[in-house]
Structure 1
Amino acid sequence: MLLRFWSKCQTNKEQGNDMADETAFDPDAWIDAMAPVVGLPIGDLERPGVRTFLGVAKGMADLLDAVELPDDELALAPVFRPEDEA
């Protein structure tokens, strides 16, 4: 599923629909769309904090998106497996 999503993102970029475009990010629209999906009520008091966090998250995502990766490689991080304590 993740690879399918990644592939769709790549197709969007190739067609000029770059999701990382600065003009495309609207935190208020994102809050309005996603809060009901996850069942999270976000009131007027919480909205400025959520908006700020989404801006920080977008900045982190932009940094990761700027890293060039080869199209034919998917390097997975190692998985931590604790040793059995016998």
Structure 2
Amino acid sequence: MKNMTDIIDIAQDITVLKPMPASIRRLAEVAGDPEAGIDEIEEAIKFDQTLTAYLLRMANSAWSGSSRQIETIRQAI
């Protein structure tokens, strides 16, 4: 584990933090809403091509343990 001095050094070396994409902020908002359903989650994901590709890649990886091909966002969710 890094000590506090190492963490401070790392933090000082960071000059630019990229802003969080709007799609990720929206997904976090929807995921935190106990009233939100799968439709809202799907809507939040589908407008971000990178997020969609990542989700489908993870859903189809050996890690997920799925025995069938996942082809849609809804299936991946």
For Structure 1 versus Structure 2, the TM-score category normalised by the shorter chain is under 0.3
Scaled by the length of structure 1, the TM-score of the pair is: 0.23
Point out the structure with the larger helix share: 2
